[in-house]
Amino acid sequence: MLAAIRPGEQDFALLLHLVGATVVFGALLASSTSLLLARGDARLLRLGYFSLLVVGLPGLILMRLAGEWLYQLQHWDDVSERFGEPSWLGIGFVVADWGGLLFLLSLVLGGVGVHRLNRGNGGVGLLRATMVISLVLVLAYVVAVWAMTGKPE
Amino acid sequence: MTFEDWIFALHLLSAATLVGSLVMSWIVIVALRSVDTVATTLGFNRVAMVGTVTTAVGLVGAIAFGIWLAILRDAFHVWDGWVIAAIVLWIVATLALWRSFVEYAKGVEQATALPAADWASPSPAVTASNRATTGLVFRAVGSWRSC
């Protein structure tokens, strides 16, 4: 992965952006798989939620902040509105920002679900909603990686 | 997008899948260290198996599309020093990860050898198996070399 990065002043910001993206992608994979295969096992349900909270959230924050830093370093702000932003950048922002909101929603739903699970008062349905959102986000991240690497017109 | 752009995108997508899968496998490995029953170990193993499959997909995709890209692009070649170094690191990572998967499979095999009636009860043998260091060390080496 690191071999793909070329020397330049933006290397460190790009490295942090990639680390954050892969960490959040891995956490989403772990979360959705654990919740999907839990079969009612409370430990796997908790693993699914806490993967998102403890690993995914810091990764998301790192990815977004480093992405913003990279945006400033590459002077995308200075590009005239007449030319507009390239579509790959737009896809990246949609997945990071709207995906981030979905991510936070899944954390809230999952948090209530785990709380209910700990009190023996259900919660599996809410964690299933967290699983669905995680699966949607996994697909969104695959599209974002394709867009940001392939840079379609 | 040109054909070459697609190969490049698939190469990086495979690399992202590989690193994401390794993050996933580390989450499972760390959580597994506190598991003391066979039933829960088997549950964690189901999740780990998905991580193993996605890691294999990432490893194969990264090397296959990487070599294809090196052949397609005029700017670099398969025999360039950094490309050869990347292939050697890929081989080391693949061997270490393979050995790690085998070690964790052994632990699951040992756990399921216990009588089925005891699968829901905490067992020191299961805890010891889930905390074994050999698989952990190989996973660490494989993860490090993959990055």
d(CA A37, CA B31): 16
d(CA A6, CA A40): 47
A58 close to B (CB below 8 A): no
Residue appearing with tokens 């924050």: A61
Per-residue confidence (pLDDT) for residue B62, from 0 to 100: 93
Reported as a pLDDT band with limits 50, 70 and 90, residue B36 is confident
- Prediction ipTM score: 0.87
Out of A83-92, B1-10, B81-90, least confident range = A83-92
Encode pLDDT of B51-85 as tens digits. Answer: 999 999 999 999 999 999 999 988 888 888 988 99
Give residue limits of the domains in chain A. 8-150
Helix, strand, or coil (residue A45) = helix
Encode pLDDT of A8-41 as tens digits. Answer: 678 889 999 999 999 999 999 999 999 999 988 8
d(CA A74, CA A85): 12
Closest CA to A88 of A106, A109, A71, A105: A71
Record: contact B23-A27, CB cut-off 8 A:
yes
Closest CA to A24 of A68, A54, A65, A66: A54
A107 has pLDDT over 70: yes
**Closest chain B residue by Cα to residue A15:** B147
Give residue limits of the domains in chain B. 3-146
d(CA A56, CA A27): 5
**Could you give phi then psi for residue B70, rounded to 5 degrees?**
-65, -30
Cα distance from A138 to chain B (closest Cα, Å)? 10
d(CA A9, CA A62): 19
Per-residue confidence (pLDDT) for residue A8, from 0 to 100: 66
CA distances in angstroms from A57 to A51, A94, A108, B99, listed in the order given: 9, 17, 12, 31
Record: contact B9-A149, CB cut-off 8 A:
yes
Q: Which residue has the higher pLDDT, B109 or A65?
A: A65
Encode pLDDT of B94-134 as tens digits. Answer: 999 999 998 888 888 888 888 887 788 888 888 888 888 88
Joined tokens for residue B117? 């009636």
Tell me B64's DSSP state: H
* Model confidence, pTM: 0.89
Cα distance from A24 to chain B (closest Cα, Å)? 8
d(CA A145, CA A115): 34
**Closest chain A residue by Cα to residue B3:** A150
Record: contact B146-A22, CB cut-off 8 A:
no
